[in-house]
Protein backbone atom coordinates (compact mmCIF):
# COMPACT_ATOMS: atom_id res chain seq x y z
CA UNK A 1 0.00 0.00 0.00
CA UNK A 2 1.54 3.34 -1.01
CA UNK A 3 2.09 6.21 1.42
CA UNK A 4 -0.06 8.53 -0.70
CA UNK A 5 -3.42 8.66 -2.43
CA UNK A 6 -3.45 7.97 -6.17
CA UNK A 7 -6.47 10.25 -6.79
CA UNK A 8 -7.47 8.21 -9.86
CA UNK A 9 -4.66 9.69 -11.96
CA UNK A 10 -1.41 8.57 -13.51
CA UNK A 11 1.79 9.63 -11.74
CA UNK A 12 2.66 12.63 -13.95
CA UNK A 13 -0.94 13.88 -13.85
CA UNK A 14 -1.10 13.50 -10.07
CA UNK A 15 2.22 15.27 -9.52
CA UNK A 16 1.18 18.15 -11.78
CA UNK A 17 -2.19 18.48 -10.05
CA UNK A 18 -0.62 18.56 -6.59
CA UNK A 19 2.11 21.01 -7.63
CA UNK A 20 -0.52 23.29 -9.14
CA UNK A 21 -2.75 23.21 -6.07
CA UNK A 22 0.12 23.66 -3.58
CA UNK A 23 1.28 26.67 -5.63
CA UNK A 24 -2.25 28.11 -5.61
CA UNK A 25 -2.58 27.52 -1.86
CA UNK A 26 0.68 29.33 -1.06
CA UNK A 27 -0.10 32.17 -3.49
CA UNK A 28 -3.74 32.81 -2.49
CA UNK A 29 -3.71 31.55 1.11
CA UNK A 30 -6.73 29.28 0.61
CA UNK A 31 -8.28 27.13 -2.10
CA UNK A 32 -11.43 25.08 -2.59
CA UNK A 33 -11.00 21.41 -3.55
CA UNK A 34 -12.09 17.88 -2.66
CA UNK A 35 -11.28 16.35 0.70
CA UNK A 36 -8.86 13.68 -0.56
CA UNK A 37 -6.93 16.19 -2.65
CA UNK A 38 -6.76 18.58 0.29
CA UNK A 39 -5.21 15.90 2.48
CA UNK A 40 -2.48 15.31 -0.10
CA UNK A 41 -1.93 19.06 -0.62
CA UNK A 42 -1.59 19.50 3.13
CA UNK A 43 1.37 17.06 3.24
CA UNK A 44 3.36 18.92 0.60
CA UNK A 45 2.48 22.43 1.77
CA UNK A 46 3.43 21.70 5.38
CA UNK A 47 6.80 20.27 4.30
CA UNK A 48 7.57 23.42 2.28
CA UNK A 49 6.54 25.76 5.09
CA UNK A 50 8.57 23.75 7.63
CA UNK A 51 11.61 24.00 5.35
CA UNK A 52 11.15 27.78 5.06
CA UNK A 53 10.75 28.14 8.85
CA UNK A 54 13.93 26.14 9.44
CA UNK A 55 15.99 28.34 7.07
CA UNK A 56 14.30 31.73 7.66
CA UNK A 57 17.27 33.44 9.38
CA UNK A 58 20.01 31.80 7.34
CA UNK A 59 21.19 34.78 5.25
CA UNK A 60 23.60 37.66 5.44
CA UNK A 61 22.97 41.26 4.44
CA UNK A 62 25.43 42.66 1.90
CA UNK A 63 25.81 46.25 0.69
CA UNK A 64 26.38 46.60 -3.05
CA UNK A 65 26.73 49.56 -5.40
CA UNK A 66 24.33 49.72 -8.32
CA UNK A 67 23.82 52.09 -11.22
CA UNK A 68 20.27 53.43 -11.42
CA UNK A 69 18.89 55.64 -14.18
CA UNK A 70 18.02 59.14 -12.99
CA UNK A 71 14.32 59.93 -13.47
CA UNK A 72 12.41 63.18 -13.81
CA UNK A 73 9.11 64.12 -12.13
CA UNK A 74 7.11 62.15 -14.73
CA UNK A 75 9.09 58.96 -14.08
CA UNK A 76 10.95 59.08 -17.40
CA UNK A 77 14.69 58.68 -17.75
CA UNK A 78 16.77 61.85 -17.83
CA UNK A 79 18.93 62.12 -20.96
CA UNK A 80 21.64 64.60 -21.77
CA UNK A 81 23.39 65.33 -25.03
CA UNK A 82 27.03 64.23 -25.26
CA UNK A 83 29.52 64.26 -28.09
CA UNK A 84 30.70 60.75 -28.95
CA UNK A 85 33.11 60.23 -31.88
CA UNK A 86 32.30 63.67 -33.23
CA UNK A 87 28.52 63.08 -33.17
CA UNK A 88 25.88 64.45 -30.83
CA UNK A 89 24.01 61.64 -29.03
CA UNK A 90 21.45 61.51 -26.23
CA UNK A 91 22.74 59.41 -23.33
CA UNK A 92 20.88 58.31 -20.20
CA UNK A 93 22.24 59.71 -16.93
CA UNK A 94 22.99 57.13 -14.22
CA UNK A 95 23.50 57.61 -10.48
CA UNK A 96 25.40 55.22 -8.22
CA UNK A 97 23.29 53.98 -5.31
CA UNK A 98 24.19 51.70 -2.43
CA UNK A 99 21.66 48.92 -1.87
CA UNK A 100 21.39 46.29 0.82
CA UNK A 101 20.53 42.81 -0.42
CA UNK A 102 19.99 39.48 1.31
CA UNK A 103 22.57 36.88 0.33
CA UNK A 104 21.46 33.32 1.05
CA UNK A 105 23.86 31.04 2.87
CA UNK A 106 24.36 27.61 1.25
CA UNK A 107 21.71 25.73 3.27
CA UNK A 108 19.05 28.40 2.60
CA UNK A 109 19.93 28.44 -1.09
CA UNK A 110 19.50 24.65 -1.17
CA UNK A 111 16.13 24.97 0.59
CA UNK A 112 15.08 27.67 -1.90
CA UNK A 113 15.92 25.36 -4.80
CA UNK A 114 14.08 22.44 -3.21
CA UNK A 115 10.98 24.61 -2.83
CA UNK A 116 11.30 25.85 -6.42
CA UNK A 117 11.39 22.24 -7.63
CA UNK A 118 7.88 21.74 -6.22
CA UNK A 119 6.20 25.06 -7.05
CA UNK A 120 5.18 26.39 -10.45
CA UNK A 121 5.85 29.96 -11.63
CA UNK A 122 2.93 32.35 -11.12
CA UNK A 123 2.45 35.34 -13.41
CA UNK A 124 0.54 38.30 -11.97
CA UNK A 125 -1.59 40.23 -14.45
CA UNK A 126 -2.95 43.67 -13.49
CA UNK A 127 -6.76 43.83 -13.62
CA UNK A 128 -6.94 46.80 -15.99
CA UNK A 129 -4.72 45.04 -18.60
CA UNK A 130 -6.33 41.60 -18.32
CA UNK A 131 -5.53 39.47 -21.36
CA UNK A 132 -2.39 41.44 -22.28
CA UNK A 133 1.25 40.62 -21.73
CA UNK A 134 2.16 44.20 -20.90
CA UNK A 135 2.92 44.92 -17.25
CA UNK A 136 2.82 41.27 -16.19
CA UNK A 137 5.32 40.13 -13.59
CA UNK A 138 6.30 36.88 -11.91
CA UNK A 139 5.14 36.42 -8.34
CA UNK A 140 7.90 35.49 -5.91
CA UNK A 141 6.20 32.70 -3.97
CA UNK A 142 9.48 31.42 -2.51
CA UNK A 143 10.24 34.92 -1.23
CA UNK A 144 6.74 35.05 0.23
CA UNK A 145 7.41 31.74 2.00
CA UNK A 146 10.67 32.99 3.55
CA UNK A 147 9.60 36.60 4.28
CA UNK A 148 5.92 36.29 5.27
CA UNK A 149 5.02 32.72 6.22
CA UNK A 150 8.26 31.66 7.95
CA UNK A 151 8.26 34.46 10.58
CA UNK A 152 4.50 34.01 11.05
CA UNK A 153 4.82 30.28 11.77
CA UNK A 154 8.20 30.34 13.57
CA UNK A 155 6.63 29.56 16.96
CA UNK A 156 4.48 26.67 15.67
CA UNK A 157 5.48 23.03 15.51
CA UNK A 158 3.58 22.03 12.38
CA UNK A 159 -0.14 22.41 11.73
CA UNK A 160 0.20 25.29 9.29
CA UNK A 161 -2.96 24.42 7.31
CA UNK A 162 -6.62 23.97 8.19
CA UNK A 163 -9.23 21.92 6.31
CA UNK A 164 -12.84 23.09 6.67
CA UNK A 165 -15.62 20.95 5.18
CA UNK A 166 -18.04 22.86 2.96
CA UNK A 167 -20.40 20.08 1.88
CA UNK A 168 -21.01 17.81 -1.10
CA UNK A 169 -20.34 19.16 -4.58
CA UNK A 170 -23.42 19.54 -6.76
CA UNK A 171 -22.21 17.56 -9.78
CA UNK A 172 -20.79 14.36 -8.29
CA UNK A 173 -21.48 14.71 -4.55
CA UNK A 174 -17.75 14.67 -3.71
CA UNK A 175 -17.06 16.23 -0.31
CA UNK A 176 -15.73 19.74 -0.93
CA UNK A 177 -13.44 21.46 1.53
CA UNK A 178 -11.65 24.77 1.99
CA UNK A 179 -7.95 24.30 2.73
CA UNK A 180 -6.34 27.44 4.13
CA UNK A 181 -3.20 28.58 5.87
CA UNK A 182 -3.78 29.10 9.60
What average pLDDT does range 136-165 have in this prediction?
94
pLDDT band per the 50, 70, 90 thresholds, residue 130: low
Greater confidence (63 vs 133) lies with: 63
- Summary mean pLDDT of the chain: 92
Convert 137-158 to b/e letters by CB count within 10 Å (16 or more is b).
eeeebbebbbeebbeebeeeee
| Residue 176: strand pairing partners | 34, 167
* pTM for the whole structure: 0.83
Domain boundaries, the chain: 1-58+105-182, 59-104
Say whether pLDDT at 88 is over 80.
yes
CA–CA separation, 30 vs 85, rounded Å? 60
Check: CB of residue 119 under 8 Å from CB of residue 141: yes
Q: State the pLDDT at residue 124.
A: 87
Say whether pLDDT at 55 is over 70.
yes
In this structure, what are the phi and psi dihedrals at residue 117, rounded to the nearest 5 degrees?
A: -70, -20
Say whether pLDDT at 105 is over 90.
yes
1-58+105-182: what fold? 50s Ribosomal Protein L17; Chain: A, (3.90.1030)
Amino acid sequence: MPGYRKLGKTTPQRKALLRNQVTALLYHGKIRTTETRAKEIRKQAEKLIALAVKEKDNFETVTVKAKVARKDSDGKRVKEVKEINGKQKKVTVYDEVEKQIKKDLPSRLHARRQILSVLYDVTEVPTKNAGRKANTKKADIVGKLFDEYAPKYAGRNGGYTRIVKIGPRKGDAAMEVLIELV
